[in-house]
Amino acid sequence: MACTSTRPSPELPLPAIASPAIADLQAQIASLQHENRKLRRINDALIERVESGVTRGNDPYAAFQHSVVLAEQVRERTDALNQAMAELKAGNHLLGEARLRAETAHRHLIDAIESISDAFVLFDEQQRIVLFNSRFKAFWAHSRVRIIAGMRISEVKRLMTANGLFSEEPRGQADEHVLYRLQNGRWLQVSERPTQEGGRVILFTDITDVKLSETVRREQAIAQKSHLLQRAVDNLSQGVAMVNAQGVLELWNRRFLELSGLAPVAAHRPFSEVIADSELQLLTPASRDSNGRLIHESEQRLSDGRVLEIRTHPLPTGGYVNTFTDITERYQHAEALSESERWIRLITDHVPALIAYLNADLVYEFTNKVYEQWYCWPRGVMLGQSLREAHSEQHYQRLEAYVARALAGESVTFEFAETNINNQERYMLRSYVPNRLANGEVVGIFVLIRDITERRRTAEALHQAYQNLEQRVQERTAELTTLNDQLLREIDERSRVELRLREAKREAEQANLSKTKFLAAVSHDLLQPLNAARLFTSALLERREPVANAQLVRNVSHSLQDVENLLGTLVDISKLDAGVIKADIAPFALSELLDNLAAEYVQVARSEGLELHFVPCSALVRSDMQLLARILRNLLSNAIRYTPSGRVVLGCRRHRQRLSIQVWDSGIGIAENRLEEIFQEFKRGDVQRPDQDRGLGLGLAIVEKIAGILGHRIQVRSWPGKGSVFSIDVPLSATAPKPLPSLEMSEPMLERLRGARVWVLDNDAAICAGMRTLLEGWGCRVVTALSEQDLARQVDNYHAEADLLIADYHLDNEQNGVDAVARINARRASAIPAMMITANYSNELKQQIRERGHTLMHKPVRPMKLKIAMSHLLSGPKSH
């Protein structure tokens, strides 16, 4: 078959198209024709032999017989030949029809391969061209090559390569599909498949449009990913710069430009040149420090005070990524924590008590100066040592049981006699307070040790004084002199400490919260000795003593009051910071609060040469009366303190649903730039009267913290040289409060104290002694006890007659006064009115005591307030 065109040549046979049945028939006809020719030659030879042969004897007859047999055989062969000829004719007819059908099928095949859009070429089992279409021929239109039938496939491929039909080698291959790029830029997909007879079919498909659309989609996807990557990098809080293996900056974000202070950077610049235009240092994975060690991160302080953390991260491709993080706030916070720790250590080093902290493994993590001096250890050496290592084995065994209780979550307080290395023997009151996490786990122990040697000696001396009146008076005078000297020394020392605290506090921002909680936790123990001292001095003031002693005791009382106010203020700040104080919001008549404050501060203002003008108000408000009173007391005290002459005004203004309580003064005023500063802790005014105590500068700080707890807004306006006005906004109440009994003192109420039978239950011997002295001075008959068992022994198992029971809330062995009062009244026929004294300011305890019907009084106890409260409780009929 010659294939110079798309139509087959008529000379070519079509053996591959004829059916197998026609081929068998042709073979059978050819065999019969061959046999027929042989028989004809045999017949002709026999006839010739008969006609030309010489007969002998019966030969003619034999020859005749033989000829008859041959004639019969010829006839049979002739019939067979005729039949074969008929069959051959029928076969030729079928063969003609088959040829016609084959030619028709061939034309249809040619039309089919011409109709497809791909170039098509067919090879037979000898890998020679059998058929191809015009699109395949078009590949050679611009070359001198003539493609004809019979060419081998290897020759065709060689000519395709030799004539530069393809501009590149195959780009990809998947199964039988191979991609080629043509010289004109178009793409072909070449597919080869074998035929059943062992031949091969090759299709050439033009996929240029598909390739172009795929390229466009890929470029769009890459562009979108690049855009998303840039947006993601731009939204990072860190500065990011990506550098390739050649040191060229390829990717960066806006945060990098902000931190480095650079203007927009041109792309593909060397990173070293970009960094050289800023303050930042160049950091690569190959950077080394002065010792030759590789560094992957560093911190750098910029000229504007910011601190950056620079990190480098190598990339698998050979480049690296630098990240720039602004850690200024974290750095400042670390410095603030360091300063706070220094400040806490400064405070604890000047507190006259031994303070330490042990972790759960009983290893020292904190000790103050007094602690280390008592045990004669050099500064800081105890830190990191265990309790067993720092002390003798005997000392550890004595403490082991109490330590185990503290680690189990129990607050432990006990007395402990010990001797240091210098043979100094002292009595110590130890308190172990567990440090709990939010989940209740104990992770350490706060240790507070106070020297109670003098207190014990004083208690022993008082015990002896009860036995011998004359000796008691002499010892009391000696003790009072010693106590006065000690208090003077303490006051002098506290004054120096206060001066140092003021100077340090100006630079500190805020105390560490965990230390604040610690101070709040031990506030009860700090207030105990002061409470006892105030009771003693109040009792002494009411006794008839010589004028000199009375003046001396009055001075001691004033000094104790100053120390009490100082510690009370510090404790209030600690409790406010630790969240111990909670607001008890309730409606009340504002006149109940303002009338008392006005009456109190009229005398205070008059003593300072000032006038206090008060505008009464009968509005109903919702607030915590005690906390609001504390705010107004601080504002009034502050106004009097900073007003050299003139007057102070206390009044109210209505504003829709709220009431503004205002304190005006004609004092020195406050500069506008210091209006916010005055609410900071340890901030005080610069100008005061020289004869007035300057205080700690905590009053307005407490005002702001309490206002935050109450949810009230504090405002201040001031005119330097003319005065100031402080106001607090309080919500008005639509409901009237429950009436409260009046606590005003009167002569009949004072008469109730004379002869009253009062029981005092407190685990502190000094408190009991002070209470006895004070109450007996008021004419009461007093029974004091350190425990319930001690009280039961003295009062006939609680059946003796009594008019009032005064109990401390915190007792020994994890007991509390509320439960103790309940047990005592449960054994009596009639309940005794009870007064609970505590340093716990929590709303939960207030609510609990209120529900029990008891009277609550907070430490330190003020004698006048105690006298009024007792008179009110004794106003009912006495129990028998």
Confidence label for 759 from pLDDT (cuts 50, 70 and 90): very high
- C-alpha 647/C-alpha 626 separation (Å) is 26
Q: What are the φ and ψ backbone dihedral angles of 203, each rounded to 5 degrees?
A: -115, 135
How many Å is the Cα radius of gyration of the chain? 58
Q: Is the pLDDT assigned to residue 743 strictly greater than 50?
A: no
In the prediction, which pLDDT does 879 show? 43
First to last CA, the chain: 143
731 three-class SS: strand
101-105, 196-200, 212-216, 815-819: which is most confident: 815-819
Cβ 6 vs Cβ 134: under 8 Å: yes
126-130, 518-522, 671-675, 833-837: which is most confident: 833-837
Q: Is the pLDDT assigned to residue 140 strictly greater than 50?
A: yes
Q: Give per-residue pLDDT as tens, 163-196.
A: 655 544 455 444 456 777 766 667 778 888 888 8
Q: Give per-residue pLDDT as tens, 692-737.
A: 544 545 567 778 888 888 888 888 898 888 899 999 999 998 776 6
Q: Is the pLDDT assigned to residue 568 strictly greater than 90?
A: no
39: CB partners within 8 A, 6+ apart: 73, 74, 77
pTM: 0.32
Q: Is the pLDDT assigned to residue 782 strictly greater than 60?
A: yes
On the question of a cis peptide bond just before residue 860, with omega within 30 degrees of 0, the verdict is: yes
Q: Which helix (H) or strand (E) holds 69?
A: helix 59-115
Q: Is the pLDDT assigned to residue 126 strictly greater than 50?
A: yes
To which residue do tokens 């010892």 refer? 475
* CA dihedral sign of residues 454, 458, 460, 461: positive
654 three-class SS: strand
Please count the other Cβ atoms lying within 10 Å of the Cβ belonging to residue 418.
Answer: 17
* CA dihedral sign of residues 811, 812, 813, 814: positive
Residue 272 DSSP one-character state: H
Which of 707, 742, 744 shows the shortest CA–CA distance to 728?
A: 707
- Which one has a higher pLDDT value, 839 or 472? 839
* CA dihedral sign of residues 539, 543, 547, 549: negative
- Which one has a higher pLDDT value, 142 or 647? 647
Please give the C-alpha separations between residue 390 and each of 369, 435, 616, in angstroms, as whole numbers.
16, 21, 64
Q: Give per-residue pLDDT as tens, 219-229.
A: 777 777 766 66
Mean pLDDT of the chain: 77
181 three-class SS: strand
Burial of 610 (0-12, 13-18, 19+ CB in 10 A): buried
Burial of 723 (0-12, 13-18, 19+ CB in 10 A): buried
Percentage of the chain beyond pLDDT 70 is 77
- C-alpha 184/C-alpha 5 separation (Å) is 26
Query: 469-507 and 547-578 helices cross at what angle (nearest 10)?
Result: 40
Q: Is the pLDDT assigned to residue 422 strictly greater than 60?
A: yes
